[in-house]
Chains A and B, each alone.
Chain A
Amino acid sequence: MSPKLRRASAGASPDVSADVRRRPGAVPPAGQARLRPVSLVMAAALLAATLLAGVLVGAAGLPVGGVLKALADRLPFVHVDSGLGVIDENVLFQLRVPRALMAALVGGMLAMAGAGYQGVFRNPLADPYLLGAAAGAGVGATMVIVLMPGDPGYAVPLAAFVGAISGVFLAYVLGSTAGRASGAATLVLAGVAVSSFLASVQTFLQQFKAEELQRIFSWLLGGVGSADWRQLALIAPYSLVSTVVLLAHGRLLDVLSVGDDEAASLGLSAARVRLTVLVAASLATACAVAVSGLIGFVGIVVPHIVRRLAGGSYRIVLPLSLLGGAAFLGMADLVARTVVEPAELPLGVVTAFVGGPFFVAVLRSSRREVEI
């Protein structure tokens, strides 16, 4: 450092010490935002506790010790006699375990997809339903419920999955052909148009069969009460693919946060990153809506809480949203099935009802800047 250079910039000499004192430990000393192991461990522990609670709590009143032993018995090389009867074992492994896992999977997918959408659109209010995934899934599910008499079985999740993907595809094609290149704003507008259009189609369809309104609405309001191993197996591979792709794009989403032009001057094609992340996030969203209906709130709030607590880099936000979303929805499902026992609340109602005040509490307690 030459003396002249020092002098040139000495005028703007910072009062950094005061800034550091105000926020001890808020930022790593080198100034590099990174995923700290302690955050990761805490999120994982929260998720594990939620899963355990999800398995232990329920109407059948299974003995805690028996449940723990039965779970341990399923581990490789461990043999424990749980003392549970056949019915209890069935309740545990056919109802509770898949349900707890499903809640976690759906929550993780929605929160991670939400974080991905927010990165792509550089807007913390973007949610995974922005481009028509929800409306598309609604049309698919409603169509099956209205048109197929009797028990449609797996046709509803399948149609919802296809509907969600088609909705996003439609919005993307419309958005990238209507505007020049694939600008983010045009895409959002196309998403709004496609969502409204599909929502009207859905409303039109449900008017055909007023007697099915309750089934349609109970699907729309969302829930994981019907979760089973087969559904889990159906969406697991897609969830895995989108998780791997999204987690790999954390750094690129950080680069994208300076805008398309500057990203291009850094050698990055914004359009390519945007398309990849959108495809992966939409796949995750489609997985979630297919098996759980429309659950709002998770996709926006969980990434936001993560940003406030752990930092704004997408290398932090994506993995912690995955874990945090899984824990959040696990807890919400616990509330949904215990508060008005033996009845159940729709999961989408609980996420907003419990999540709203929780979100306000986090906003108030944390002094961090809103980070985008």
Chain B
Amino acid sequence: MTVLVQGLDVALGGRRVLKGVSLDVPAGSWTAVIGPNGAGKSTLLRAVLGLVPSKGEVTVAGVDLGKLKPRQRARMIAYTPQSPNLPVGMTVFDYTLLGRSPYIPHLGREGARDRAVTAEVLDRLDLTAFAARRLGHLSGGERQRVVLARALAQQTPVLLLDEPTAALDIGHQQQVMELIDRLRLSDELTVVTTIHDLTLAGQYADRLVLISGGRVAVAGEPAQVLTRSAVEEHFDARVRVTPGAGGRPVLSLERP
């Protein structure tokens, strides 16, 4: 489903963090939000979710998110934070089952369908063997997949992933990104991720949105956004940009 953000303003503690940010994320596409530290990338995702007060309009498939009840919204958008809280004693199954919360009556308990969806998601992410494992006993890569599993159990058309590859080695980064891409294609999900690694963002996303100083600086296809001058201007970094497979840009640092 298309995600449309129009004129989003966010002020935190009196400081304007986002200033009139607009995004257009076509249904079924992958948009990566990039930008230097403190640019407001995470705040943008949190504002779309309604976790921080904001001005502006956010619609998903034409539905104004601000007018939805929290449970209805949680059936439209799933979110994984940059550093999720993982209760160490909880099992992988129970943690994934939390994703069914928007479907379970407030004081009720989960039904057979919720358990079935949870088991199916675990199966798809190759986590079935981990179902009884406690979260405190997982490696970084496993943890990231489990957090993704919880988001998928929400069965939402839109996924907002805040730095899904943070703290992963290059192999696990690739695994997680491939996994997200496959799920996006098979389930026709609309994916928005923030991501630090510009080359990684350029390899996987259909569109990049560069946020700098709380505003959208550039948006478009990876090759249009990831230019030597844009990276120098907004990240204060000197890089060489070379076209890789499919024209997607590959960045390498240049020593001054």
A residues within 8 Å of B by Cβ? 1-2, 4-6, 8-12, 14, 16, 19-20, 27-33, 248-249, 251-252, 254-255, 257-259, 261-262, 264-269, 307, 311-313, 368-372
Within 8 A of A (CB), among B27-78: 46, 49-51, 69-75, 77-78
Q: Which residue of A lies closest to B174 (CB)?
A: A8
* Distance between Cα atoms of A8 and B159 in the complex (Å): 20
Task: Chain A residues near B50: list those with CB within 8 A.
Answer: 264
* Distance between Cα atoms of A11 and B194 in the complex (Å): 25
Task: Identify whether the interface residues of A are mostly helix, strand, loop, or mixed.
Answer: loop
B residues within 8 Å of A by Cβ? 46, 49-51, 69-75, 77-79, 81, 84-95, 97-99, 101-102, 104, 106-110, 115, 119, 123-126, 129-134, 136-137, 139, 141-142, 145, 154, 171-172, 175, 178-179, 182, 186
A5 touching B124 by the CB < 8 A rule? yes
* Distance between Cα atoms of A269 and B89 in the complex (Å): 23
> Nearest 8 A-B pairs (CB), nearest first?
A371-B89, A31-B131, A31-B93, A267-B74, A267-B71, A31-B132, A312-B89, A265-B79
In the complex, how many angstroms separate the beta carbon of B74 from the nearest chain A beta carbon? 3
Instruction: Check A258/B85 contact, CB under 8 A, given A14-B130, A30-B132.
Output: yes
User: A251-B110, A254-B98 are known contacts; what are 9 more A-B pairs with Cβ within 8 Å?
Assistant: A1-B126, A9-B125, A10-B126, A31-B132, A33-B91, A254-B94, A261-B81, A264-B49, A264-B70
Selected from A32, A261, A269, the residue in CB contact (under 8 A) with B94 is A32
* Distance between Cα atoms of A261 and B79 in the complex (Å): 10
7 sample A-B contacts, Cβ–Cβ < 8 Å, listed by A number: A5-B124, A254-B94, A258-B84, A262-B85, A265-B77, A266-B98, A372-B89
In the complex, how many angstroms separate the beta carbon of A28 from the nearest chain B beta carbon? 7
Task: Chain A residues near B172: list those with CB within 8 A.
Answer: 11-12
Q: How many CB-defined contacts (below 8 Å) exist between A and B?
A: 147
A11 touching B175 by the CB < 8 A rule? yes
* Distance between Cα atoms of A258 and B90 in the complex (Å): 10
Instruction: Check A265/B130 contact, CB under 8 A, given A8-B178, A8-B179, A257-B87.
Output: no
B124 touching A1 by the CB < 8 A rule? yes
Task: Chain B residues near A11: list those with CB within 8 A.
Answer: 141, 171-172, 175
Task: Chain B residues near A31: list those with CB within 8 A.
Answer: 91-94, 130-133
In the complex, how many angstroms separate the beta carbon of A118 from the nearest chain B beta carbon? 12
Selected from B73, B86, B182, the residue in CB contact (under 8 A) with A2 is B182
Task: Chain A residues near B115: list those with CB within 8 A.
Answer: 30, 32
A5 touching B132 by the CB < 8 A rule? no
* Distance between Cα atoms of A9 and B126 in the complex (Å): 7
Task: Chain A residues near B94: list those with CB within 8 A.
Answer: 31-33, 254, 313
In the complex, how many angstroms separate the beta carbon of B204 from the nearest chain A beta carbon? 13
* Distance between Cα atoms of A105 and B98 in the complex (Å): 33
B91 touching A266 by the CB < 8 A rule? no
* Distance between Cα atoms of A33 and B139 in the complex (Å): 21
